Structure formats: structure tokens, C-alpha cells
Chain A
Amino acid sequence: MRFMMIVIPKEYEAAAPDAFPDAKAVAKMMEYNRSLQNAGVLLALDGLLPPSTGARVSFAEGKATVTDGPFAEAKEVIGGYWIIQVRSREEAIEWARRAPMSSRETIEVRQIREMADFPEDVRKAMEGFEDLKNATASKA
């Protein structure tokens, strides 16, 4: 089973566009990433630029409205993620516990829904969905 470990750093919603973690924190993170890799559980990982460089598209009243970052009203924003393949929810949580995080950060552990988990009628309705994903991935 696959899990996404989502990093939620406090105050990242207000971070400057050029904010960057310090070298010491990065070195610790590399060590942790290496331990995930050595255990053979790491599938993917990425860090995200601050929300001040992003935009939010909301759909209140059925109409798309674009707001550029930073998002004053946001309480939690995503800083980055890992995708890991493990044998249980507990194992995913145990890996999250070991991440070198500061007191300002939270990790949310969420299981990734697998295609096979969907009931047949939902799978039918999703026909073509993977095609879209494939098209995107092959362009990347």
C-alpha cells in the first residue's frame, strides 16, 4: 500500500517567495531521504515553493475565482510530500515519526487510493481517467 506523507509547515502560508530551508535542515532531510531509499520504500518526493508564488482557484457560487498567493486566510499549507510503499498504516506512521522536523511542522499521513479499491461501477465511471494521467505523465 502507498501513503503520502504531507509536510505542513506553520507560517509557510506567509513565507517570502524566495524563502529556502537552511543548509543544516536540508542536510538532515537528505539523511532521512536516504534512509527511506535504503529501506526500499521511497517512491517519490518533492518540496513545494512557498504559497506566495502560487495561486488559489476557488469555486464559490459555481464560478472560478483566481487569488494570487500569499493566502492571508489559509491556516495550513503544504510544504512538500513523500510517497512511500509500505505494508501497513502503522509502518507509514512510524516512518513519519522519524522525519527530522522542527516544532513548527506537522506531517499528515494519508493512504493513496488504489484503482483496485474502487467498486466496479466507480471504475466504469472513471474509464479514461488513467488515460488522462498517462497523457500528463508522458509529457512530463
Chain B
Amino acid sequence: MSDLHKTIEAVWKIESTRLIAGIARVTRDIGIAEELAQDALVAALEQWPEEGIPEKPGAWLMTAAKRRAIDHLRRGRMLEIKHGEITRELEFQQRRLGEAMDQALDAVIDDDVLRLIFTACHPVLAVEGRVALTLRVACGLTTAEIARSFLVPEKTLGQRIFRAKKTLAEAHVPFETPRGDELRKRVESVLSVVYLIFNEGYTATAGEEWMRAELCDEALRLGRMLAQLLPEESEVEGLLALMELQASRTAARRGPGGEAVLLLEQDRSLWDRAQIERGMAALDRAQELGGGARGYALQAAIALCHARANTAAETDWERIVLLYDALLEISPSPIVALNRAVAVGMAQGLGCGPAAALKALDALAEEPALANYHLFPSVRGDVLMKLGRYAEARKELQRALGMTENRRERVLLSTKLEGVLRQMGLPVTMEAEELK
């Protein structure tokens, strides 16, 4: 790629969200808006090498795309439906066109961007469709880039986006920011999409690639954008805090050979202190907005307990147990209960310790959600090992090994298994060796 193309691509990455959002205001259809924005990009790729990069590339793209949008509407089938309304909108848009990138209109564009994100994360779409569409229209990633980061063929991803756009159009999803009671529900949907993107980057579910940091960065940027666009919503700050605090450990999560390093074994000097500070600031804002007891803020508070401890031994597990109790109260889930059991096993207070943890785990044994989750036997194996019940621990770790395909997780489990076998005075068998 030439330097000029790289520059055009960079302009696109910066401008595409606002561009698509601004056009969607005219077309009321983000699928069409995205295509028209792409057309403007193609025009830029043709014209800029000849004419040079314009002084205000964003305004140039916006003008080019809006001209196409207006042509599209003039020709278009939409005229039949709401002729008068669209004519008025067109007049308004044409007035706007001249002043397109005028700073005074920034607030309008911000609203458009918010509408765009709410629409891309609309509950009418399948979750994978929301994720793909959000990365496409709100992060400016290409289909190929999204496909690569989700380890799916480009064609599959392209179809996913196509289907999502079609569903939005067929369901006549309005291009708007929800109000009142609807708002909180829809904010939740947006935040869950952002957190899904983050987690996809933070822990890949299969294959060699354990971390795909770019997706974490995309999610963090979306979180920071949303914090500006929805300044009253405490959970936006809560999620931002959670992501910053988790991402602050990125450098410590892999050993020199690329192997996974668990939280308690991590070299804490590799944690990114500036990022922790940003996470703390976001959590403070969430609490100031009165959202300290909501889901993401509580999870962030738990992450902060780890960030604050200079060594694993200094971790305030008692506080973590209390935070999990609060979390379970607002969103009871077997996964949260499993994490709480881990904290119980580490804490020293009344009703804590490995025996209490085992009891808590056994209460979860029948949970269907944990039936195929390798962390359940893995955690249970840990606790049994602490209690000196090695034969049972071995069985649990073997069970866990049978439940995950992730190579790094398997290496971790087999290392634990080796520890148990050693305690039992048994040779390290093939089951642990084969992965090395």
C-alpha cells in the first residue's frame, strides 16, 4: 500500500463513524448510509492521488457522501413513502451541507453517532450481527479485518453484516436514540456488545491466538466515545473502568513462551499503572453518578481489588467476596457464583477457606450452565488439591482437560495436573506430557 493510501485509510478510520452517522440521518437506513460512505471513500481513492489530500478531508468525504445520499433519495423508492417529510429533511440537509463540518454542528453529529451505535446494537439483531455491524459502522473496520479478528472466513462475516443490515431495514428500525424506560434497556444492549468485543480480544475461545489486543483497543475506544455521548449513564463508566482495569494486565498475561499466566501468578510490575489510574478514575465517575452498586461497576470494583494489591498475597479477598455477594444479588448467575466460590477459597474470614469453597462449588454442581464449562472442574480441582484430596483433584483436572480446546488453557491445566501427580508420588504421565 502506498503512503497516500495509508493516509486515506487513516482518514477513513477517523471519519467513517461520523460520516455514516451523518448520512444515516438523511437516509434513515444505516445499511444504505454505510454503502454511500463507502462510495465516498472510493471517490477519495480516485481523486486524492490526483488532486492531493484536501485541507479538511472529513468535510470533503461528508460532502461527497451527502451528495450521493441526496441523489439516492431523489431516485429512490423512499420518496414514495414519506415524500413531504423527506423533502423537508433534504432541504435541511442541503442547508447543512454547506456548513457540514462547522464546529457548531458537532453536537448534531454526536447525536447521529449515538443513534448509529444504538441502531447497530438493536435487540432485533442476532448478537453476532450486532457485534459485526458495530465494528463495521462504529469502528470503521473492514469486513476482512473483522473476519480476521473473529477467526471466521471473510465471506461468512460479509453475509453476517449483510443479514444484519437487511434485518434492520425489514424491521423498520428507526434511526433514533431511545427515550425513557427504553433507554436503560438499550444502553445495556450497547454495553454488552462493547464488552463482547473486548472479551473476544481478551480471551479467544479457541485456537492458538490467546489475545487479540486490537479488539480490546476497539472496545476501549468505543467505551470512551460512549462515556462522552452518554454522560449520565453510570454503567458506561462502570464498563469503561472494568475494561481499563482488565486490559492493564495485558503485558503480564503471557509468559515468554506465549503461555497463559494466571492473575495470581502474574508479574505485577508489568501491569500498566497509567491504565489502572484511568480505570480508577472511570470507576470514581460511575460511583459519583450513583451507579456504584450496578453490575459493571461492581465487577470493576473487584478488578480494582486486584489492581490495588502489590502482591497476590495482599489481595483483599474478603472485600472481593462481599462485592460478589452484591453482584449475585443484582444478577444471579452460576458464573458469578463460581467466581465467588474462588474468592471464598482464598479469603480468611468467617465462612471462608477451601472447605467453604468446596461446599459452595458443590451447591453449583447441578447448574446446567456450568455442565460444559472447563473452569468448574478446574476450580474444584484446585480446591480439592488445597484440601489434600489429591485423587479427587486429579479426576477434576482431567475432566477439565477434556472440556477445553484452547491450547494455552490446556497447558495451564496440565501443569496443575503435574503438581497433583507429584503430590501423589506418581510419575508425570502421558496425559500431562503430551501437551508440552
By a CB distance below 8 angstroms, the chain B residues around A42 are 224
CB pair B251–A44 under 8 Å, yes or no, is: no
A137 interface contact, C-beta 8 A = yes
By a CB distance below 8 angstroms, the chain B residues around A93 are 7, 10
A67 interface contact, C-beta 8 A = no
CA of A127 to CA of B268, assembled, Å: 11
Stretch from B121-129, B160-168, B270-278 that touches the partner:
B270-278
CA of A1 to CA of B14, assembled, Å: 15
By a CB distance below 8 angstroms, the chain B residues around A34 are 106
B13 interface contact, C-beta 8 A = yes
CB pair B6–A38 under 8 Å, yes or no, is: no
Known pairs A39-B14, A40-B223, A40-B225; A88 contacts B6 (CB<8 A)? yes
Known pairs A38-B110, A91-B10, A91-B13; A115 contacts B222 (CB<8 A)? no
Residues facing A in B1-23 (CB within 8 A) are 3, 6-7, 9-11, 13-14
A43 interface contact, C-beta 8 A = yes
Residues facing A in B203-249 (CB within 8 A) are 214, 217, 220-225, 228-229
By a CB distance below 8 angstroms, the chain B residues around A133 are 273
Residues facing B in A117-140 (CB within 8 A) are 120, 127-131, 133-134, 137-138
Contact of A44 among B57, B221, B274 (CB under 8 A): B274
By a CB distance below 8 angstroms, the chain A residues around B228 are 37-38, 40
A94 interface contact, C-beta 8 A = yes
CA of A41 to CA of B222, assembled, Å: 9
CA of A52 to CA of B399, assembled, Å: 68
A87 interface contact, C-beta 8 A = yes
Contact size range, A: 20 to 34
CA of A91 to CA of B15, assembled, Å: 11
CB pair B270–A130 under 8 Å, yes or no, is: yes
Number of A-B residue pairs having CB atoms within 8 Å of each other in the complex = 77
By a CB distance below 8 angstroms, the chain B residues around A129 are 269
Residue of B nearest to A37 (CB): B228
CB pair B223–A90 under 8 Å, yes or no, is: no
CA of A39 to CA of B16, assembled, Å: 11
A31 interface contact, C-beta 8 A = yes
Known pairs A38-B228, A85-B221; A94 contacts B269 (CB<8 A)? no
CA of A49 to CA of B403, assembled, Å: 59
CB pair A115–B11 under 8 Å, yes or no, is: no
Majority DSSP secondary structure for residues of A touching B:
helix
Question: What is the total number of residues of chain B having a CB less than 8 Å from a CB of chain A?
Answer: 33
Q: How far is the CB of B127 from chain A (nearest CB, A)?
A: 22
Known pairs A38-B110, A40-B223; A134 contacts B273 (CB<8 A)? yes
A57 interface contact, C-beta 8 A = no
CB pair A94–B273 under 8 Å, yes or no, is: no
Known pairs A40-B224, A115-B251; A127 contacts B269 (CB<8 A)? yes
Q: How far is the CB of B369 from chain A (nearest CB, A)?
A: 33
CB pair B10–A90 under 8 Å, yes or no, is: yes
B256 interface contact, C-beta 8 A = yes
CA of A127 to CA of B13, assembled, Å: 37
B103 interface contact, C-beta 8 A = yes
Contact of A138 among B217, B225, B273 (CB under 8 A): B273
CB pair A130–B271 under 8 Å, yes or no, is: yes
Known pairs A39-B225, A133-B273; A85 contacts B220 (CB<8 A)? yes
CA of A42 to CA of B225, assembled, Å: 10
By a CB distance below 8 angstroms, the chain A residues around B9 are 88, 90
Contact of A40 among B10, B11, B222, B272 (CB under 8 A): B222
CB pair A41–B221 under 8 Å, yes or no, is: yes
A72 interface contact, C-beta 8 A = no
Known pairs A90-B9, A94-B7; A115 contacts B277 (CB<8 A)? no
CB pair B110–A134 under 8 Å, yes or no, is: no
CB pair A95–B6 under 8 Å, yes or no, is: no
CA of A134 to CA of B222, assembled, Å: 27
Pick from A31, A87, A88, A115 the residue with the most CB of B within 10 Å.
Answer: A87
Residue of A nearest to B17 (CB): A39
CB pair B14–A94 under 8 Å, yes or no, is: yes
Known pairs A31-B103, A120-B256; A90 contacts B269 (CB<8 A)? no
By a CB distance below 8 angstroms, the chain B residues around A23 are none
CB pair A134–B14 under 8 Å, yes or no, is: no
4 closest cross-chain pairs (CB), A and B: A40-B224, A40-B221, A90-B10, A40-B225
List 23 A-B pairs, Cβ < 8 Å: A35-B106, A37-B224, A38-B229, A39-B225, A40-B225, A41-B224, A42-B224, A86-B13, A87-B13, A88-B13, A90-B7, A90-B9, A90-B10, A91-B10, A93-B10, A94-B14, A94-B57, A115-B251, A115-B270, A130-B269, A130-B273, A134-B273, A137-B277
